Amino acid sequence: MKQKDEGKNRKNRGYKALLLLVACSFFLLFFMVLSIIVGAAKIPFSTVVDAFWHFDKENIKHLMVIDLRLPRVISAVVVGAALAVSGAVMQGMTRNPLADSGLMGLNSGAALALAICLAYIDKVTYSQIILSAFIGAGAGALAVYGISSLVPGGNKPMKLVLSGAAVSTFLVAVSQAIAIGNKMSQNLNFWTMGSVTGNSWNQLKAAVPVIGAGILIAVLLSGRISILSMGEEVALGLGVRLNFVKTVGTIVVVLLAGTSVALAGTITFVGMLIPHFARYLIGPDYRLIIPLSAVLGALLLVVADIGAKTLSAPSEIPLGALISLLGVPVFLYFARRQKGEL
Amino acid sequence: MKKGIRTENIKAAYGEKVIIEELSISIPMGQITTIIGPNGCGKSTFLKTLGRILGIKKGYIYLDGEEIHRLPTRELAKKLAILPQAPQAPDGLTVEELVSYGRFPYQKGLGRLTGEDKEIVSWAIEATGLKGLEEQATSDLSGGQRQRVWIAMALAQETEVILLDEPTTYLDMAYQLEILELLEDLNKVHGCTILMVLHDLNLASKFADHMIAFREGRVIKAGTPGEVMNKETLKEVFQIDAAIVTDPVSARPICMSYQLLNKEKNRSKVKKGA
């Protein structure tokens, strides 16, 4: 019955997606403002408005709004969007319902590259950090897919997840060893739990254009990704340049995952969760799934970050841990539902 | 410019495993050609190389005198459609959505459907007898209907040639006939050249203007059903001793019954094993 209803709504799918995009953007804006208001010290809404329109650099609360809370909430927005879109692109290209940059080793690869960069390079610039995160994300993915390809049937979704878990655990251990060995242990949570605290405008200046470009390319590619989700042979038959789409798609995934790790550490499950939810809302067309995933991913991270700073105030719950709390049951649900094919 | 599909000394392989060593053959235009042969004989591989789903290691494939690997893949997709075996649509995709993907080779930019695209999509849906089901999710359809949706997608590509890899797999007898009759209509009414791999010899004979029999990557025999569906060819291709009669309805040769040629050998194997 449910699918028949979806069918009837098909003509409206485009409008429905637009409506959802607008509604979610509205919610996103609301929670972004809320996220600036709440925190260790509550800042009244009027002060937030003041900080934007009549910024006074002597006013400590204005400084908090502009230099701490605004970059933090923008980080949550771009990281959420980046992770969700990278997950959507991976799911569409590989037809793997469990694809996620965290589960497939990209995030932990990027984190290790970051640890090496911070520990062994003097006066590292933020662009170098992001660049190393790309290399790390690519190497992490290569390791996971490489190990899987050695096993017969290794490209099945669940085998990839297992291989991803093994590689990630190893990479995280190495990152932690480097962090401890170089007395960077105050950042230890960052590698395993993820967080958007303490991001500065400088970091955002380097990261936001990359993520923006990545999402834009993903949107331009989305029609081809829809066709690819019907299988490679069908896509080839329709004249899709498979190698081109896969190469560009992989670059987009690495850019998005790497940059989000550089901003927020390793956060898993957003990339798996959000595209499924978007698909549930508007159907299997990636031209709609990808933009909606971007907004929904941003929304999830902003809301989760509000939770991270308020649930056990004044101390903070790691953002990644909160998301995993939500992600694990959903992961188990999908893993069980598709057990025959995994 | 010479019309039709022609291959010249093509070699096809999966990695190190060579499936087709050297093959030169022509496929007549405007006809239905069926390919038969035992499992692993290279018939699907051959179809995939024609549809450039699989690259060739050597040789040339020409479509209307042009080498297909020199054509931009989208241009080729306007001339030749290929349906792989048992394609899978994502959950929830509707008939109309799936068929409209057939317009991809003609689209620019983000891929909005033009008025012309929409007309062709609804024509393809009507030609395959799916009118009224446009809004249905393909996952809710019967196997036969679903296969017709894929054929409609290929039709929406507006190509002169359609290649199909076992379009009747997993379908029961009535549905098999339904699909093949649809393809016959497309050939007769719209002049589509159809080339397909079929497992069922009798259906292959019944619907073909031209037949090709494969074995171990080589063409054993190509010609009319009468020339291919005979005792000698089937013996060489399938290692069977076939009893061929003429179908009273279609007047085509059909294989009524058959025995394994090396039955004695198999028996002695079983004995030795025991």
Chain B CB contacts of A8 under 8 Å are 135
Q: Read off the pLDDT of residues B129-148 as tens digits, 9 standing for 90 and up.
A: 999 999 999 989 988 899 99
Instruction: Tell me whether residues A233 and B77 touch, CB distance under 8 A.
Output: no
Q: Read off the pLDDT of residues A20-46 as tens digits, 9 standing for 90 and up.
A: 999 999 999 999 999 999 887 888 898
The pLDDT score that the predictor gives to residue B35 is 96
Q: Read off the pLDDT of residues A250-306 as tens digits, 9 standing for 90 and up.
A: 999 999 999 999 898 888 889 999 999 999 899 899 999 999 999 999 999 999 999
Q: In which region does residue A105 sit, left (phi positive, over 0), alpha (psi from -120 to 50) or beta (all else)?
A: left
Average pLDDT, chain A: 86
Domain extent listing, chain A? 70-337
What whole-number distance in Å separates Cα of residue A274 and Cα of residue A293? 6
Chain-centroid distance, C-alpha A274:
9
Chain A CB contacts of B105 under 8 Å are 238-239
Is A70-337 in CATH node 1.10.3470.10? yes
In this model, does residue B274 exceed pLDDT 80? no
Interacting residues of B57 by C-beta distance below 8 A, sequence separation 6+: B11, B12, B13, B18
Average pLDDT, chain B: 90
Chain A CB contacts of B69 under 8 Å are none
> Across the interface, which of A236, A279, A284 has its CB nearest the CB of B53?
A236
Q: Are B105 and A223 in contact (CB under 8 A)?
A: no
Chain-centroid distance, C-alpha B144:
16
Give the count of beta carbons closer than 10 Å to the beta carbon of residue A214: 26
The pLDDT score that the predictor gives to residue B102 is 95
The pLDDT score that the predictor gives to residue B266 is 62
> Across the interface, which of A6, A222, A229 has its CB nearest the CB of B90?
A229
What whole-number distance in Å separates Cα of residue A169 and Cα of residue A272? 19
Chain B CB contacts of A226 under 8 Å are 101
Q: What is the average pLDDT across B11-29? A: 91
pTM, entire model: 0.88
The pLDDT score that the predictor gives to residue B27 is 93
> Across the interface, which of B76, B101, B140 has its CB nearest the CB of A3?
B140
What whole-number distance in Å separates Cα of residue B142 and Cα of residue A313? 57
- Distance from the Cα of B95 to chain A's closest Cα (Å) equals 9
Q: Are A87 and A104 in contact (CB under 8 A)?
A: no
- Distance from the Cα of B173 to chain A's closest Cα (Å) equals 26
Share of chain A above pLDDT 90, in %: 42
Whether chain A has a CB inside 8 Å of the CB on B69: the answer is no
In this model, does residue B119 exceed pLDDT 90? yes
Q: Which helix (H) or strand (E) holds A254?
A: helix A242-264
Residue bearing tokens 């799916």: B130
What whole-number distance in Å separates Cα of residue A316 and Cα of residue A289? 32
What whole-number distance in Å separates Cα of residue A121 and Cα of residue A123? 7
Q: What is the average pLDDT across B71-79? A: 93
Q: What is the average pLDDT across A198-214? A: 90
Q: What is the average pLDDT across A124-142? A: 89
Q: Where are the alpha helices (DSSP H) in chain B?
A: 43-50, 73-79, 95-100, 115-127, 143-156, 173-190, 201-207, 225-228, 231-238, 263-273
What whole-number distance in Å separates Cα of residue B62 and Cα of residue A20? 49
The pLDDT score that the predictor gives to residue B270 is 64
Question: Among A250, A293, A264, A257, which Cα is nearest to A195's?
Answer: A264
Chain A CB contacts of B117 under 8 Å are none
B100 vs B169: which has the higher pLDDT: B100
Domain extent listing, chain B? 5-273
Between the CA atoms of A4, A8, A13 and A14, what dihedral angle is there, to the nearest 10 degrees?
Answer: 150
Size of the A and B interface in Cβ pairs below 8 Å? 90
Share of chain A above pLDDT 70, in %: 92
Question: Can you name the residues that pair with B190 across neighbouring β-strands?
Answer: none
CB-count burial class (<10 Å; 0-12, 13-18, 19+) for B226 = middle
The pLDDT score that the predictor gives to residue A309 is 87
Residue bearing tokens 């024509």: B123
Instruction: Tell me whether residues A238 and B76 touch, CB distance under 8 A.
Output: no
The pLDDT score that the predictor gives to residue A333 is 82
Regarding the domain delimited by B5-273, which CATH topology (the fold level of the hierarchy) does it fall under?
A: Rossmann fold (3.40.50)
Instruction: Tell me whether residues A236 and B94 touch, CB distance under 8 A.
Output: no
Q: Read off the pLDDT of residues B230-254 as tens digits, 9 standing for 90 and up.
A: 999 999 999 999 889 998 888 899 9
Q: Are B211 and B205 in contact (CB under 8 A)?
A: yes
Q: Read off the pLDDT of residues B99-109 as tens digits, 9 standing for 90 and up.
A: 999 999 998 86
Lowest mean pLDDT: which of A70-84, A105-119, A195-209?
A195-209
Give the three-class secondary structure for B106. Answer: helix
pLDDT band at A57 (very low <50, low <70, confident <90, very high): confident
| Residue B11, phi then psi, degrees to nearest 5 | -125, 130
In this model, does residue A316 exceed pLDDT 90? no
Interacting residues of B133 by C-beta distance below 8 A, sequence separation 6+: B95, B125, B141, B145
Share of chain B above pLDDT 70, in %: 94
> Across the interface, which of B52, B89, B154 has its CB nearest the CB of A230?
B89
The pLDDT score that the predictor gives to residue B11 is 93
Q: Read off the pLDDT of residues B40-51 as tens digits, 9 standing for 90 and up.
A: 899 999 999 999
| Residue A207, phi then psi, degrees to nearest 5 | -85, -40
The pLDDT score that the predictor gives to residue A200 is 82
Interacting residues of A174 by C-beta distance below 8 A, sequence separation 6+: A112, A115
In this model, does residue A3 exceed pLDDT 50? no
- Distance from the Cα of B165 to chain A's closest Cα (Å) equals 11
Instruction: Tell me whether residues B51 and A220 touch, CB distance under 8 A.
Output: no
Question: Can you name the residues that pair with B34 across neighbouring β-strands?
Answer: B196, B211
Structure tokens given for A339: 């057990």
Q: What is the average pLDDT across B195-202? A: 94
Q: Are A195 and A320 in contact (CB under 8 A)?
A: yes
pLDDT band at B207 (very low <50, low <70, confident <90, very high): very high
Instruction: Tell me whether residues B82 and A233 touch, CB distance under 8 A.
Output: yes
Share of chain B above pLDDT 90, in %: 68
pLDDT band at A2 (very low <50, low <70, confident <90, very high): very low
The pLDDT score that the predictor gives to residue B22 is 92
Question: Among A182, A49, A174, which Cα is nearest to A110's?
Answer: A174
Lowest mean pLDDT: which of A51-60, A244-253, B120-129?
A51-60
In this model, does residue A213 exceed pLDDT 80? yes
What whole-number distance in Å separates Cα of residue B246 and Cα of residue A3? 47
Whether chain A has a CB inside 8 Å of the CB on B247: the answer is no
Bond into A314 cis (ω within 30): yes
In this model, does residue A328 exceed pLDDT 70? yes
> Across the interface, which of B87, B92, B110 has its CB nearest the CB of A283?
B92
Instruction: Tell me whether residues B107 and A229 touch, CB distance under 8 A.
Output: no
pLDDT band at B263 (very low <50, low <70, confident <90, very high): low
In this model, does residue B64 exceed pLDDT 80? yes
What whole-number distance in Å separates Cα of residue B194 and Cα of residue B184? 9
What whole-number distance in Å separates Cα of residue A35 and Cα of residue A302? 7
Chain B contact probe: residue of A220, A228, A236 with most B CBs at under 10 A:
A236
Could you tell me whether strands B161-165 and B80-83 are parallel, antiparallel, or unpaired per DSSP bridges? parallel
Chain B contact probe: residue of A94, A234, A285, A338 with most B CBs at under 10 A:
A234
The pLDDT score that the predictor gives to residue A5 is 46
